[in-house]
A = this chain, B = another copy of it.
Amino acid sequence: MINTLTEKIKKLEAPIVVGLDPTMKFVPEHIKKQAFAEHGETMKGAAEAVWLFNKGIVDAVCDLVPAVKPQIAMYEQFGVEGVHAFQKTVSYCKEKGLVVIGDIKRGDIGSTSEAYAVGHLGQMQVGETMCRGFDEDFATVNPYLGSDGVKPFIEVCKKEKKGLFILVKTSNPSSGEFQDRLVLPEGSTDASKARPLYEIVGEKVAEWAADHMGDSYSYIGAVVGATYPEMGKVLRQIMPKSYILVPGYGAQGGRGKDLKHFFNEDGLGAIVNSSRGIIAAYQQEAYAKYGAENYADASRAAVIDMKEDIKEGVFC
């Protein structure tokens, strides 16, 4: 799947992933009205609204971008009905030819990570029948539990030709609280050789990546926030074969010019996410002219502008 993703990025000249992270305040009134008319002001109604909202955006941008990244939290907030909308969204995006990165940030002890990996990327034997759960193409994984929490995901990816993005340095303001702490080398007391935890995690990702290669990139990638460009530069060197999934562009403050060092010299190796900036574009001044009725056209315009911003910031 990493080969497919790379090819699509090259073909579309768009190292861009659209974050499908819907909240009720992004969903235009006419869609809410339609969904509530059918299902009432219930979780089912909310989930239906979110699904219709997503579908509009996907239809409007699927020829422009290689991938989408639904954030499962935004669906879990609506309970089981929301998770159902997540599944419908994943399936629909795949039908439309998009690569789907499930932003699930799971991670647990071995046997539990295996269950997550099976549910999101693999297949499950039920009696004599093989069944698939959510069936995303990639998933994000939290590394706090160490190798045996990550390896079951890698095993499933290997079998299914799928991939991972492992959290290394996240985009949020307090990500440094633990991730930036200076760590001594193993077995050493030489403080001058201490390095931030995110580098240690990055090195581990690089190891896993080297052992699990696609054609030119590994299917074990990393998450590094656009909001920390200097760290991105260092981590790019540490993980040369990993795709970096870069959140934090747009609404969180990252701009095209901050992204240069997340890419390799081949112009590849990073894919930049924007969520609110695209899916709620119609609520921003720059795209207000589209109006809520044409929210999907506003999203399309925002994708085109983002593509331009990245081209200028990164490749010029």
Shortest C-beta distance, A237 to chain B (Å), equals 20
- Do B83 and A128 touch (CB < 8 A)? no
Q: How many residues of A contact B (CB 8 A)?
A: 80
A108 in contact with B110 given A82-B133, A127-B41 (CB within 8 Å): no
**A134 at interface, CB cutoff 8 A:** yes
Q: Decide if B175 touches A42 in the complex (CB within 8 Å).
A: no
Return the contact of A172 from the options B42, B73, B109, B181 (Cβ within 8 A): B109
The smallest beta-carbon distance between A240 and chain B, in angstroms, is: 22
Chain B residue numbers with a CB within 8 Å of A184 are 181-184, 191, 194
> Which stretch (A6-14, A111-119, A213-221) binds chain B?
A111-119
A148 CB–B CB distance under 8 Å:
yes
Tell whether, in the assembled complex, residue A146 and residue B41 are in contact, meaning their CB atoms are under 8 Å apart: no
Binds B, one of A52-60, A137-145, A301-309: A137-145
Within the oligomer, what is the number of copies of this chain? 2
A313 within 8 A of B: no
Q: Judge whether A78 is part of the interface by a CB distance below 8 angstroms.
A: yes
A133→B76 contact, CB < 8 A: yes
Distance A277 CA – B186 CA, assembled complex (angstroms): 35
Known A119-B82, A126-B41; contact A172-B191, beta-carbon cutoff 8 A: no
Q: Which of A196-204, A228-236, A280-288 lies on the face that meets chain B?
A: A196-204
Q: How far is the CA of A172 from the CA of B112 in the complex (A)?
A: 11
Q: Is A79 a contact of B132 with CB atoms below 8 Å?
A: yes
State how many angstroms separate the Cβ of A178 from the closest Cβ of chain B.
6
- Residue of A46, A74, A109, A179 most packed against chain B (CB within 10 A): A109
Give min CB distance, A50 to chain B, whole Å: 11
Quick one: given A120-B76, A170-B109, A172-B109, are A181 and B197 in contact (CB under 8 Å)? Answer: yes
Asked whether, in the complex, the Cβ of B42 is within 8 Å of the Cβ of A79, the reply is no
List of 3 A-B pairs having minimum Cβ-Cβ separation, nearest first: A79-B133, A146-B177, A41-B127
* Contacts beyond the supplied A78-B124, A146-B172: 8 A-B pairs with Cβ under 8 Å: A73-B112, A76-B120, A105-B107, A143-B178, A148-B173, A183-B184, A183-B197, A189-B191
